[in-house]
Amino acid sequence: MSKNILYTILSVFLLISCRQENDIVLSGEGFLSVSGIEIQAQTNTEVASRSTDDIIWTVELWKGNEMLRTLSAEDIQDKIELDVADDYVLKVYSPNYGVEKKWTNEEKGEPVYYKEVPFVVNQGETTGLKVQVPMITFAVSLDLSEVLGDWLQEYSFAVTSDERSISLQNGETAYFPHSEGISFSYQLSMTNSDSEVNVLNGEWGKMDDETVNINTMYTVVYNWSTQSLSLEK
């Protein structure tokens, strides 16, 4: 065999080898590692949030508009091998996700959690995610601690948002679905020891500088010194 033929054969093998190596790089795989899923702290820290241990999260793995699969607890504990791509999304939500759209006036509701996390998988690398899932509902509670007792004989309180009206007692909380531009109003009717009736009203979210946010607790407080309602968040 002549040297020219030998060089030609070697060149062909080298070319094939380079193309195969390049194909491996372009169509290779990487890994996803979910180091933890936890509840994102609410804006009002006085509100008791559920423990992460109490929630059995649903975790969906998406690529573009296609759901690849639902990840089990065992899957999350291990590295997950995935094709290289930049359009992955991890969707994490609580088992009650979606029930907020069906609440009635007789239901005070509950925290509902949801989070989408886009991520990229690179060749031979591990993408680590630690997911903090916010409450996608908002809440309103009542605090009459300054006036409860001999002076306040009777009262009724209601908070209304998006045509749903909930009656609350002192210390109770109502949860509401959130949407863009949503607002809420509230009314406190009180009868004191002199049989005087006083009706106080308030609202939030109607003014340009007022925004109702998800993952937030709004507390309606009766202020004894001003004998009026204030809103804390």
> Quick check: 9 pLDDT over 90?
no
| Cα torsion angle, 221, 222, 224, 227, sign | positive
SS3 content of the chain, % helix, strand, coil (to 5): 15, 45, 40
> What pLDDT does 73 receive?
87
Residue 43 confidence (pLDDT): 66
Question: 12 versus 206: which is more confidently predicted?
Answer: 206
Model confidence pLDDT, tens digit, residues 79-102:
999 999 999 999 999 999 999 999
- Residue-level pLDDT at 118: 97
Judge whether 29-133 and 138-232 match in fold.
yes
Q: 18-27, 106-115, 146-155: lowest mean pLDDT where?
A: 18-27
CATH architecture of 138-232: Sandwich (2.60)
Comparing 16-20, 22-26, 59-63, 89-93, the range with the smallest average pLDDT is 22-26
What does the alpha-carbon distance between residue 11 and residue 60 come to, in Å, rounded to a whole number?
47
SS3 7: helix
Residue ranges covered by each domain of the chain = 29-133, 138-232
Q: What is the pLDDT of residue 193?
A: 75
- Residue 12's pLDDT is 38
Write the DSSP assignment of 128-176 as a string of letters: EEEEEEPB-SEEEEEE-TTTBTTTEEEEEEEEEETTEEEE--TT-EEEE
DSSP-assigned beta bridge partners for residue 204:
184
CATH architecture, domain defined by 29-133: Sandwich (2.60)
Q: Which amino acid is present at 79?
A: K
Give the strand order in the sheet containing 173-176.
173-176, 138-143, 217-223, 228-232
pTM of the model: 0.81
Residue pLDDT, tens place only, 156-204: 999 999 989 999 999 999 999 999 999 999 999 988 778 888 899 999 9
Whether 52 shows a pLDDT value over 70: the answer reads no
